[in-house]
Structure 1
Amino acid sequence: MAAWSGDARESEGDRQEREHFWRVVNAFRYYRAYALERVRRAERELRALPPAHRRLLREAALPGHLQCVRARVEHNQLLHDIILGTAEHMFENKRYRPLNLEAEPTPATAFDMDKLKSTLKQLVRDWSSEGQGERDSCYRPILNAVQTYLGAASGDSGSSIKSNGDSCCDGHSSNGSNNSDGCHQNHRHQQHPQQENEQQQQQNEQQLNEQQKNNHKQQQKSPRVLVPGSGLGRLAWEITRLGYSCQGNEFSLFMLFTSHYILNRCHEVDSVRLYPWVLQFSNTRRAWDRVRPVLVPDVDPSALPPGADFSMSAGDFLEVYSLDVDVWDCVATCFFLDTAHNVIAYIELIWQVLKPGGVWINMGPLLYHFENMVGESSLELSYDQIRQVIVQVGFVFEEENECVHATYTENERSMLRYIYDCVFFVVRKPALKSECS
């Protein structure tokens, strides 16, 4: 159990972890106040206009539009509260005091609010029909490469879902699965002799045991894929749906809270409505585009093959997997390399965790996250420098494309678009040292 703030036994690391947890919780709860202040600013600007200009904007229905923005903000806050309600017990090895959604949140940093707004847009990218184009450009090449280099998965993969349907995370290797093991039998409401009932029960138990044994064998045969920087989990989920054993790893609590909600609580297609663009006041072609809804999820996240082996781990990639040696058949990274303080450390650990003969599949740009952050170290290498490091570490290139066009959390109706020329590559850790030469 995580220590309370007044516990003298609490380590410095635990204290920082606890403070970070509550800072992210506070950002989720502060959204309403933050967003409504932006609306009030627009209203103040409107009131300050000359009367003739205000009359023109009344014809354009701006005052009514701002009221619509307010309503969308309130809806988003309700969604944030629901996400927080499901996140309270998501970690298997941590327990924090109960969330009090009635208490007044304190002002959050601009950095944290940007992270929260980005998380709403990530929901569009990963779990909406609108995000299909982005997923096709970024995830499809990775999925194709997984199938090409790992071969067909051995039937349905298989980690059992917990009976309460929850996936939990811990600080290392947490069960983030949202899967069904088919263990719950539908009992017929018919009258049978006691002996017949006992025989039927024994048969059911035997069938269940056989199914569990088969699932275990399939887990042993299915190649294991690790997805660092998995965000809201869609890429890892898609890999699992193909029949592979897959674990996503994510550091951001904004992502972890939200992915936990999507993977464990959303079982109906398009059942959740959100307004990810409501605070995008610039580069809007039509006022309605700002307040239009997006529905998630576009699939049922629980609709994985019976016994699918899908999990999520919480924590820094460099710490969580530091003891893994020759464990994974494949590491798949998407828009991940540039999240490093030192990208060489990522490359070395990927080499370490891969089995001999294993492959690393990468897609993404090099928009280094810490480049302009005060007090943060950041090594910004060009791709040709990174490529040289990859070769020197020992990897052998199997595929390479230095110009794959992709977008990231794009608003398809915005007047501004960022298009990345991403690098896609597949490299292999040689099975034999002689293959390096």
Structure 2
Amino acid sequence: MEGGEEWAGEFNPMADSEERAHLLSVLDSFRSYRHVAHYNTTHLRRRAFYSLPSAHWTLLSQPPFSVLDSLSHLDDLIDSNAELAEAIFCAGFQAFVAHNINSEQVASIVPEKYAHDPFQVFSAVLDHLGAKATPNDMEKARSCVNQFYREWSGEGEVERGACFAPILSTLASEYSKRRERDVAIGKKDMNILVPGAGLGRLVFDVCKAGYSVEGNEISYHEIMASSLVLNHMSKRGQFKIAPFALNCSNHLSREDQFRTYYIPDVHPASELSEGDSGEMSMSTGDFIVLYSTPEYKHAFDVVATVFFIDTAPNIIRYVETVRNCLKPGGLWINLGPLLWHHASRIQDPKEEDADDKKGASRGEDVGIADPGSVELTNDEVVSLVQHFGFTIEEHELGVDTGYITNQWSMLKSTYQASFWVARKA
């Protein structure tokens, strides 16, 4: 973020009871990573291991198996992952909670022996606020730590490159076309929007390439994690993670399970201070609610969506929003599968009705929380985009890519992603 700014906005989530509860749950999910991972991954396995017949666990305790040694090493790797999770917790607490708590309150809450330990201070305040992570938020925190492998490790370049290279190549081609019409145009004159910015790597890469770029993200998990890496990292390779260690299935060897990676592979602040980098900003909130407003009408030259459009319950809302915020003649560049996220959500009908009435009673646009959903095929998505006045200039099927794929695993998932470029009339 330009000038080392925090994620910011007019809305204070601590002032809204429901948003406050969700935010505190997310913070607690990162704070609790160490304890929960140790319990679920090694404690329960040790208990199950010792439940084997004594002759069996005695055999497996010895080389070449050394199961107990492996569990001890796994504990060390959990602690390494937890250092990153707790750094995200601290960055998130400072960004969203700290300014709501005065020093006198903190002094009354935190034992004096912890006064100079930020993690302990923030943790004590979080307990005082009654934070308790949901199982869903705990899973998201675990996934978020692993996602650093894809977005911010050197080894993850192969996977993310398959997704990001077509975006950057199309941007370069579009810039060349514009330069042919007006040689005075610079890359910073092209305004790019990246919805679903995740951990911010595509936003960083686009900015590094010289363009003006704005990322948008709704997930507090992703917001806090991207803020840490973009704003608060002090050096390249600051953290060591083991993204595949907590999954104990389908490994060819323990060495494969315990592979570690240093993140980030670049120091964002240093990289953006050199050369001809563009300008970067971030927005927090629902893509539909933010960018369908008159304020953003015709605001961007390009919208780039990667592994994003299938997060929409109603894809028409996304298409309408992109059309609103794109300038006439602007490009929509999309790459990804159609793993419709909402299809896996199970909600009590009574809760769903209550949510619908709540949004309606306030007269608000609740964005992706709007009622209704639909799953379209790739052909149908492309037809829908064309229906709303876009011309498909390029369309490629079968772009091979994984998502946090362990290349040494006995089980791999590969997407045959769709890549298309559409120009607004």
TM-score by length of 1: 0.77
The structure having more radius of gyration, on CA atoms, is 1
Q: Please tell me whether the aligned partners of residues 267 and 301 of structure 1 are also in contact (alpha carbons under 8 angstroms).
A: no
Q: Does 1:289 align with 2:256?
A: yes
The worse-fitting range, judged by mean Cα deviation, of 373-382 and 20-29 is 373-382
Of residues 214, 221, 226 in structure 2, which corresponds to 1:254?
A: 221
For residue 279 of structure 1, what is the aligned residue in structure 2? 246
Q: Write the distance in 2 (CA, Å) between the matches of 1:141 and 1:231.
A: 18
Aligned residue for 1:310? 280
- Give per-residue Cα distances to partners, 1:102-161, cap 9 Å, x unaligned: 46686633321221121112101111011011122111011101111233899xxxxxxx
Q: Is the 8 A contact 1:2 1:96 kept in 2?
A: no
Instruction: Rate the CA distance shift 1:3–1:373 in 2: closer, same or farther, 3 A.
Output: closer
Distance 1:51 1:107 in 2: 39
Corresponding position of 2:388: 393
Distance change (3 Å), C-alpha of 1:73 and 1:96: farther
Number of corresponding residues: 360
2:203 paired residue among 232, 236, 249: 236
Match of 1:86?
A: 91
Partners of 1:79 and 1:225 lie apart in 2 by 30
Instruction: Say if 1:137 and 1:146 are closer, same or farther in 2 by CA, change over 3 A.
Output: same
Who is 1:417 aligned against? 412
**Match of 1:260, SS?**
helix
Counterpart CA distance in 2 for 1:272 and 1:31 is 15
Report the TM-score when normalising by structure 2.
0.79
* Greater displacement, 48-57 / 282-291: 282-291
Please identify, of 29-38 and 389-398, the stretch whose mean Cα deviation from structure 2 is larger: 29-38
The 8 Å contact of residues 30 and 86 in structure 2, kept in 1 or not, is answered as yes
**Deviation, structure 1 residue 413:** 2.0
Once structures 1 and 2 are overlaid, which stretch shifts more, 297-306 or 18-27? 297-306
Matching residue of 2:319: 347
Q: Deviations over 1:363-396 (max 9, x none)?
A: 0000011102113743211111111111110000
Aligned-partner residue type, residue 424 of structure 2: K
CA deviation string 1:171-211 (max 9, x = no partner)? xxxxxxxxxxxxxxxxxxxxxxxxxxxxxxxxxxxxxxxxx
> Comparing both structures, which one devotes a greater share of its residues to helix?
2
Tell me which amino acid in the other structure corresponds to 1:100: F
Residue 361 of structure 1: aligned partner: 333
Cα distance change, pair 218–24 in 1 and its aligned pair in 2 (3 A): farther
Residue 321 in structure 1 maps to residue 346 in structure 2: no
Shift, 1:2, TM fit: 7.3
Q: Which residue of 2 aligns with 1:48?
A: 51
Task: Please give the residue correspondences for 1:119-134 in structure 2 after superposition, counting only pairs within 5 Å.
Answer: 119-134=144-159
In the alignment, what sits opposite 2:302? 330
Q: Distance in 2 between matches of 1:398 and 1:49?
A: 62
Do 1:153 and 1:222's aligned partners in 2 also have CA atoms closer than 8 Å? no
Identity of aligned residues (%): 35
Q: Residue in 2 aligned with 1:165? A: none
Q: Return the alpha-carbon distance in structure 2 between the equivalents of residues 372 and 81 of structure 1.
A: 29
Change in CA separation of 1:20 and 1:151 when aligned onto 2, cut-off 3 Å: farther
Equivalent-residue separation in structure 1 for 2:252 and 2:19 (angstroms): 42
Aligned to 2:68: 63
Deviation at 1:56, TM superposition (A): 1.9
Q: What is aligned with 1:167?
A: none
Paired AA for residue 280 in structure 2: F
Question: Residue 207 of structure 2 contacts residue 277 of structure 2 at CA under 8 Å; is this kept in 1?
Answer: no
Change (3 A) 1:397 1:4: closer
Q: CA RMSD, aligned part only?
A: 2.5
Q: Please tell me whether the aligned partners of residues 210 and 276 of structure 2 are also in contact (alpha carbons under 8 angstroms).
A: no
Whether the aligned pair in 1 keeps the contact of 2:178 and 2:185 (CA below 8 Å) is no
- TM-superposed CA distance for 1:288, in Å, is 2.7
- Superposed CA deviations along residues 401-425 of structure 1, whole A, max 9, x for unmatched, are 1211111111222211110011000
Say whether the 8 Å CA contact 1:219–1:309 is kept in structure 2. Answer: no
Which SS does the other structure have where 2:95 is aligned?
Answer: coil
Q: For residues 223 and 153 of structure 2, what CA distance do their matches in structure 1 show?
A: 18
1:374 is aligned with what amino acid?
I
CA distance in structure 2 between the aligned counterparts of 1:153 and 1:277, rounded to whole angstroms: 44
Aligned with residue 122 of structure 2, among 85, 96, 100 = 100
**Using a 3 Å threshold, how does the CA distance of structure 1 residues 429 and 280 change in structure 2: closer, same or farther?**
same
Cα distance in 2, alignment partners of residues 20 and 118 from structure 1: 17
Q: Deviations over 1:66-88 (max 9, x none)?
A: 11111222232232222222223
Alpha-carbon offset, residue 95 of structure 1: 4.1
The one-letter code matched in structure 2 to 1:83 is I
- Confirm or deny that 1:426 pairs with 2:421: yes
**Distance in 2 between the 1:222 and 1:403 partners?**
33
1:153-302 correspondence runs (5 A):
222-302=189-269
8 Å Cα contact 2:210/2:277 also seen in 1: no
Match of 1:171 in 2: none
Helix, strand or coil: the match of 2:122?
coil
Distance 1:426 1:382 in 2: 17
Q: Any idea what SS the aligned residue of 2:199 has? A: coil
